[in-house]
Amino acid sequence: MPFLSRITATFFTTLITRLGVRPPPPDAFELSNVVQPVSIVDADIALTAAVSEPLYGTPATAGEVAAPAGGTLLADTGVLVAGNFNIRVLLSVFEQLNDTSVLLQHRNAANGANIWEQRLYIDGSISQGTGVIPVDLSFADTFVLNERFRVVLGAAAAGAGSTYFCSIFSVAR
């Protein structure tokens, strides 16, 4: 059975007054336990949200590597604590001779096997004329204790005169 309760909180009385319920009833406002759907629209209230990039620390990188051999480690985060991470990989490739690939690898805690791997193919003819192939990847990944993320040149060696530079930024979420 419905019943009424007296509203004593100032916030509610101010809200009801702001919604234009005038004049207030002689016994003040009361609240019923019967729910009726309503929609409240208020143009005076603004909610603001700020979206920003995560703050990344020092990158993991092997620096600029000239004409690396196949399998060269370009960047390695080292062991990570357990948790969710935002990962950002920045890769710059100057390669005009060979078609190669770069491997993105989420490694196990023993650093002996890949949990997952993604291959990015580098077409040496693409950078002719422009010089550099830039890659900027951002994603989230979950790591257990002592797992790592690394970037490795694929099996094919880079061409003479080529340079590879990779940085991995990681931040716990």
Which residues, given as ranges, of the chain have pLDDT below 50? Answer: none
* CB under 8 A, 24+ apart: contacts of 44-50: none
Average pLDDT, the chain: 84
* CATH no. of 64-172: 2.60.120
Element (H, E) at 13: helix 10-18
Q: Which two tokens stand for residue 158?
A: 């880079």
Q: What is the pLDDT of residue 22?
A: 65
